[in-house]
Amino acid sequence: MSAPSPLSVLSHSPIGSFAPDVFASHLASVGVAPAWWLERKRAAYEKFAALPLPKRTDESWRFSNILGLTLDRFALAAPAKPSLAPFPVPHAASLTFVNNRAIEGGQKHGWMELPAGVVITTIGEALAKFPDLLRSHFMAQPQKLGSGKFAALHTAFLHDGAFIYVPRGVEVPAPIVITHIAAGPGAAVFPHTLVIAEENSKVSVVDTFASADATPQFACGANDLYASHGAQITYIGAQAWSRETMSFQFNSTVVRRDARVQSLNLHLGGRQARHESLSQLQAPGAFSEMLALTVADQTQEFDQRTLQIHQAANTKSDLLYKNALRDQAKTIFSGLIIVDPDAQKTDAYQSNRNLMLSEEAEANSLPGLEIQANDVRCTHGATSSRIDPEQEFYLQSRGIRKEMADELLTFGFFEEVLNRLASDELHASLRTMIQTQFTKGPRV
Amino acid sequence: MSSLEIKNLHVTIGEKEIVKGLSLQISSGEVHAIMGPNGTGKSTLAMVIAGHPDYVVTSGDVLLDGKSVLAMEADERARSGLFLAFQYPSEIPGVSIANFMRAAVQARMAEGEELDATSYYKRLYAKMDMLKIDRKFTARSVNEGFSGGEKKRCEILQMAMLEPKFALMDETDSGLDIDALRIVAEGVNALRGPGLGVLLITHYQRLLNYIIPDFVHVMYAGRIVKSGDKSLALELEAKGYDWVKKEFALANP
């Protein structure tokens, strides 16, 4: 690999480091796999190579830093040793990937026995043992949010990932913690977490993303959540890649009858991080709660694109994305609610709130609605506000320094989202993780 | 022994001069009451001493133990020993009383020194019990959805925890029913002592039945126009403020 080049001279080759010979050597490293899997990867690679990089004029990339997108100077990450501890929350099981590979002994059980039939394994193993499940759920949903090229890249180069299956009626009593680590300069990683919750099952998954070092890396990950009738999934995505990393993450959530999915994505890391989230409410009683918290500072850019599709009557979605922006940071929120003609009695909510902690930060909001049914309740809105000077003065008048006052007020702003979590342990762990972004004041 | 000295203070907000040459000296152990009609600059005086950025001192000085506080930010003044009990305390959603108080206590500790959580909570609960504040309040957001009485008790709780040298109490009696007033007054009286000086700002004499002042000053048109002992407060209660206004008009034709 050549030495990293400064951003100003980035190449914008549509395939960059992911040339055909690199793909061929990746395929050779896959080992024994079903023919359909290899075929999917080949087709994905072709699609990736054929599609152009996003352009400034693409509506789904409006406001994004197109010039910052580059596929150059990366290399498929080589095996490396784990260097980070998993997310500190009591868990039922954990699985850790370093540079796309499940680490030796990384598949650990927590303090409890897993209920019978629950599967927590790698995609590699699932290909051998549960090919049909994988075939029908892996990256099976449409890419509607603009990153078709990068999603294809993900499928093409995916080496391994987490496969979680919870059988009918089974409840996993504590979270399952998945850790994805990128290590080394230029490392390209393709994290994947697939969660299949069968009828009336219940599971909570914490998916974390971190860099072992502060070098420029490339992350192109996906998570697929499938909640069958009456199932309940809680998904936490906690992204803390290095400050030099370019990151893409694609979420697809399918919610069936009376099922409920709550997802909360925390965005902290990356130079430029894009997150796309698609919720499909496919049968009556389905509910998707989509939450996100972002702390953006320095020159970070966080680009969040969401789509809530109501495909059946009596479905509900509730999106609340909150960003705190400092320094020269930039955020983009573009959200769309689509209500299909038959989806009467839809109840959809979408809200993006930005807390501007700096005059130089930039928050862009593009909320949208596309309603084809006539008996629905849809609300959307976006706000940007500054720290309330009276609240800040009140805290300062108690001796609290300005930086600390602003930190407390930022946590106050986030609390509305964190309070949606039923688990106090998850709430506390996420707070601690957010705290790492604030280094100026003393810890509370 | 500490002193808070206000010397010929002039304060403007926007273009308007509100405080027009006010002087007052308070020593620790003393309780001074400032009374006066609405719009006379009483709250401005409290805000400017606490360091609110909207209020501009155009001349004069405020000295804490002989040292000017005017160049200090509000937080530094607070750590130096000043405390303002607000007339209208801010509501701060999402920030719990426990975390807020903890940050305030921590801010007074040396860098690197860790707060001992056990003794902190012990002290907090003892003060809450004194002020008859339910311990569950620690988990509630600061002032959010509090009744008027709860807000004022919470102000006194902060004062009790932070142990200032001087407390400025801005209309602490406003919006309180008689029971709440009694609890607040008992709290203040419990904190009274040789280490604390108090400046009580009030419109009504009522509060002074419960917190007996050592000195009473009448503020009008941005300055102190009359000073005396607690009997002055009773006189104001009986005669209203009109005679003060007349006297002022005669003296300043």
> A8-12, A21-25, A348-352: which range is least confident on average?
A8-12
Q: In the 3-class helix/strand/coil scheme, how is A142-177 assigned residue by residue?
A: CCCCCCHHHHHHHHHHCCCCEEEEECCCCECCCCEE
Nearest to A16 by CA among A43, A41, A53, A42: A53
Residue of A nearest to B158 (CA): A398
- Quick check: ipTM above 0.95? yes
Q: With a cut of 80, say whether residue A388 has pLDDT above it.
A: yes
Residue A109 binned pLDDT confidence (cut-offs 50, 70, 90)? low
Q: How much is the pLDDT for A441?
A: 37
* CB–CB contact B93 A442 (8 Å): no
Residue B150 binned pLDDT confidence (cut-offs 50, 70, 90)? very high
Q: What is the distance in angstroms between the CA of the first residue and the CA of the last residue of chain A? A: 44
Q: With a cut of 80, say whether residue A112 has pLDDT above it.
A: no
Beta pairing class for B215-220 and B223-228:
antiparallel
Residues of A with CB under 8 A from a CB of B: 388-391, 393-402, 404-405, 408-409, 411-416, 441-442, 444
> What's the rounded Cα separation, in Å, for the pair B251 and B60?
23
- List, as one string, the DSSP characters of B45-85: HHHHHHT-TTEEEEEEEEEETTEE-TTS-HHHHHHHTEEEE
Contact A220, A108 (CB under 8 A): no
CB-CB neighbors (< 8 A) of B93 in chain A: 412, 415-416
> A73-82, A109-118, A129-138: which range is least confident on average?
A109-118
The vertex-A209 CA angle with A207 and A212, nearest 5°, equals 145
Q: How much is the pLDDT for A442?
A: 35
Q: How much is the pLDDT for B244?
A: 86
**A153-200 pLDDT, tens digit each:** 999 999 999 999 999 999 999 999 999 999 999 999 999 999 999 999
* CB–CB contact A412 B141 (8 Å): yes
**A318-359 pLDDT, tens digit each:** 999 999 999 999 999 999 999 999 999 999 999 999 999 999
Q: How much is the pLDDT for A7?
A: 53
Q: Is B163 on the interface with A (CB under 8 A)?
A: no
Residues 6+ apart with CB under 8 A from B241: B36, B37, B218, B220
Q: Which 8-state DSSP code applies to residue B222?
A: T
**B44-90 pLDDT, tens digit each:** 999 999 999 999 999 999 999 999 999 999 999 999 999 999 999 99
Which tokens hold the place of A202?
A: 């219940």
* CB–CB contact B94 A400 (8 Å): no
Which tops the pLDDT comparison, A95 or A1? A95
Q: Domain ranges in chain B?
A: 3-251
Q: With a cut of 80, say whether residue A380 has pLDDT above it.
A: yes
Q: With a cut of 50, say whether residue A2 has pLDDT above it.
A: no
Q: Which of B55, B73, B75, B168 is best to mutate for the A interface (most A CBs within 10 A)?
A: B75
Q: With a cut of 90, say whether residue A204 has pLDDT above it.
A: yes
Query: What's domain B3-251's superfamily in CATH?
Result: P-loop containing nucleotide triphosphate hydrolases (3.40.50.300)
User: Nearest CB to B95: which of A396, A402, A411?
Assistant: A411
Q: With a cut of 50, say whether residue A440 has pLDDT above it.
A: no
Residue A221 binned pLDDT confidence (cut-offs 50, 70, 90)? very high
Q: Which of A400, A416, A421 is best to mutate for the B interface (most B CBs within 10 A)?
A: A400
The mean of the pLDDT values for chain A is 93
